[in-house]
Amino acid sequence: MSSEHFKGQYEVELKFRLPSKSDFLQTLAKMPHKVMLLDNVESDCYFDTSTQQLQAQNKSVCIREMEPSGIKLWIVKGPEFDRCEATNIINAHSAKSMLQTMGYQVALQAKKIRSIYFIGQYHVTLDYLEGIGHFAEFAIMTDEQSMLANYKVELESLASQFGLSTPDLETKSYRELFIEQATQSTHC
């Protein structure tokens, strides 16, 4: 794993709902890029308090397990939109147990299929969320808060090369989309 792409306490990320996965892949094939992972299943386990305090504070804590790559991550996002930190862990079961010992409980379990590509300094993911759709995320992690606006402009330019623009932008987190899906499927 090219861990240099995932270092930093800030993440500039643009997520787009894909009108066509095949068009995305055709464009990608024409660009110089490196493949990190193809079609990994990511199982995310989100934790919160019984009163959803983290969600109310725009924070999330997630333990992610990726197969077949075997990567396991502890991810914390928020409260600022661009704030994101992740660290590799060895034992996801123990990490989940530790969170539960501290009073957190599982708030959401979600799965997605993810491929990760590197285009220059940026990482681009192709995601599939069952029942929700295909998405592409264009992102960079950094410790340089002063660069966030510049990176956003550069990511918008990169996304435009794939034919993606503001109407395709998805501003909701995957967690929000999964919660919406669960709410809709329980109402007849």
Give 95's contacts (C-beta < 8 A, 6+ positions apart).
Answer: 63, 72, 74, 89
Tokens 């928020």 belong to 78
Distance CA 127, CA 55 (A): 23
Distance CA 134, CA 115 (A): 11
Q: Is 46 a known active-site residue?
A: yes
Active-site residue identified among 10, 46, 122, 151 = 46
- Tokens for 96, please give them: 């989940």
CB 121 within 8 A of CB 139: no
Q: Which residues are catalytic?
A: 46
